[in-house]
Amino acid sequence: MITYAAPLDDIRFCLTELFDYEAKVATLPGYEEATLDLLDAVLEEAAKFCENELLPLNGPGDEEGCTFENGVVRTPEGFKEAYRAFTEGGWAGLACDPAYGGQGLPKTLQYILEELICSTNLSFGIYPGLTHGTYDALARYGSDQLKARFLPKLVAGTWAGTMCLTEPHSGTDLGLIRTKAVPDGTASPDGAPAYKITGTKIFISGGEQDLTENIVHLVLAKLPDAPPGIKGISLFLVPKFLAKADGSLGPRNGVACGSIEAKMGIHAASTCVMNFEAAEGYLVGAAHGGMRAMFTMMNNARLGVGIQGLGLAETAYQSAVSYAKERLQGRALSGAKHPDKPADPILVHPDVRKNLLTMRATIEGCRALGIWVAIAVDIAAKHPDPATRREAEDLVELLTPIVKAYFTDMGFEAANLGVQVFGGHGYIREHGMEQLVRDARIAQLYEGTNGIQALDLVGRKLPRHMGRALRRFFHPVFAFIEDHQAEPELAEFVLPLAKAFGRLQQATAWVAQQGLRDPEEAGAAASDYLRLFALTALAYIWARTAKVVLDKPEGERQAFHQAKLATARFYMTRILPQTSGLFAAINAGAKPIMAVEEDWF
């Protein structure tokens, strides 16, 4: 059985001591009541729900998995009851607009809640997570009729949402999709023009399930007059059951699950092949404007998937620490540490400690980075000053591919390190560690593989608006280094940050220059560049953390803060040096990769 307790102390540290949530978010219009006291109370309840309701279902849900028979998908035992408790507790509408029944709380709180859910039961979390993404897209691009009819049900959680993008022949290259939408001259009960949607979508998470009375699919399709490629994509809302004028359920629509996938992990989350046969749907946003709406869904989903990696890593870490403290094997190299016992706990061994500290340093750094981005999401949505909103939007855009790719890489690496700490016991199902590895692997693939995230970073985010987004990260890091590089107490943190930041600046210039000359140069450097960026971002987080702790009088540095300082030292000395190798690899260029003939593979 895996071990988990919500890391509320670390979350509070990020919100209060590192980022001053109260000044940045609780002062925004509409969030005045979302004080730290309120957030703390909500998170305490969220922790209880996740630890007591979701965690016990995680292992059994993986063993049982979803079943498919006669077009019906059934989730594992206990999932329906847990989902009912989830919706009755108001968790589905936490950050949704009160006009549609939501609680109107900040996105920062939503992202933290998602971490707790994914730490305890990733498969369960996929269902409400996709529904929230559907809500966001519809709230932003849907007509007033569609919003009035569908959003209250999504907010309540009685209806679920999905994203139907991928087709058997079309994954990342959505311009190749074949799903068609044809106007049929009719309208919904509230006057929304209707279309007939025909096509097949694959890898649809939650495409069919028994948790909700209805499912709302957001489907990419092409109209008859669509221009070729991605400029011809439109977005449609296709419900499983049509809704009557009073909001009650009408007849079954022409959409059905053809099968579910047998997967490596997330067994309790249904992954479906969905067949649309002249299904009634409604246009969301403008005709041929589906890509814009899709990116709203995808960017939110990519941040959410990054949080999935963080959540799984936290559970792997806590489980590995618990095991390392209990498992007795051998003696410490410097002599017995527990002579009263037949052997020392494996926590005394340097390699075990290195694995655990690697997990801890990356997890806590990623959590802080994720909360920084989440706060920027709230500022971008609510701040009264347009320039401030734009700066926050730039930061979110820049860091979204880093959060998605690095957090999920880190989650998989942490889960594997957890298995290593357990040794052979981690490889068998009894302790639950191998499930974390299997579950973590998908996060590096869906919502755009991590290689695609790297290409998005170097190909779209860096050059956009003449590199404007880069300034949102580069300027605060440069200012921090300038302000504190002369402080002796901070030197062990600021100087490594400065060196890594210098490498990142040089690598950025190299990618920009070489990429203009030859796009394959930028492509060859992309993944290494993203990881270099991520490691530097975490170094900035850890240097700021060290300053917060060192600014406290020694008498006020409790064990929590001392541990933070020790973890920061580990990060700077044992993890951050990886940036040297990444920098060298980037500068090696594309030739070692692209000069290999196809026939040699």
Neighbours of 250 (CB within 10 A): 14
Tell me if 157 sits within 8 A of 92, measured CB to CB.
yes
Tokens of 206: 């939650």
Residue 411 CA to residue 533 CA, distance in Å, equals: 17
φ, ψ of residue 226 to 5 degrees: the values are -70, 135
CB-hemisphere CA count at 13 Å for 168? 5
393 noted as active-site residue: no
Return the DSSP state at 227: P
Quote the CA–CA distance of 421 and 208 in Å, as a whole number.
38
What's the rounded Cα separation, in Å, for the pair 237 and 279?
Answer: 10
Of the candidates 527, 541, 266, 539, the residue with the CA atom closest to the CA atom of residue 405 = 527
Does residue 402 contact residue 461 with C-beta atoms inside 8 Å? no
> Among all chains, which residue has been given the structure tokens 């569908």?
150
Structure tokens that stand for 80 in this block: 């329906």
> Using the 8-state DSSP alphabet, how is residue 170 labeled?
B
Strand 214-221 relative to strand 159-164: parallel, antiparallel, unpaired? parallel
Neighbours of 341 (CB within 10 A): 11
Give the list of residues 6+ apart from residue 305 with CB closer than 8 angstroms, or none.
404, 408, 443, 446, 447
Cα 502 to Cα 474: distance, rounded to the nearest angstrom: 10
Whole-angstrom CA distances from 288 to 9, 224, 252, 530, 535 are 47, 11, 27, 32, 39
Which of 364, 391, 434, 447 does the annotation list as catalytic? 447
Q: Cβ(313)–Cβ(2) under 8 Å?
A: no
Cα 361 versus chain centre, distance: 18
Spatial CA neighbour of 14 closest among 566, 558, 567, 548:
548
Can you tell me the distance from the alpha carbon of 25 to that of 39, in angstroms, rounded to the nearest whole number?
Answer: 11
**For residue 347, what are its two tokens?**
């926590």
Give me the half-sphere count of Cα atoms (radius 13 Å) on the Cβ side of residue 405: 25
Residue where the block lists tokens 């970073």: 457
Per the listing, tokens 């007509």 go with 143
The rounded Cα 444 to chain-centroid distance in angstroms is: 10
In eight-state DSSP terms, residue 345 is: B
Q: Say if residues 363 and 310 touch (Cβ distance below 8 Å).
A: yes
The two three-digit tokens of residue 528, written as one number: 């290494």
- Tokens representing 372 are 């920084």
Alpha carbon 311 to its chain centroid, in Å, reads 9
Q: Which residues are catalytic?
A: 447
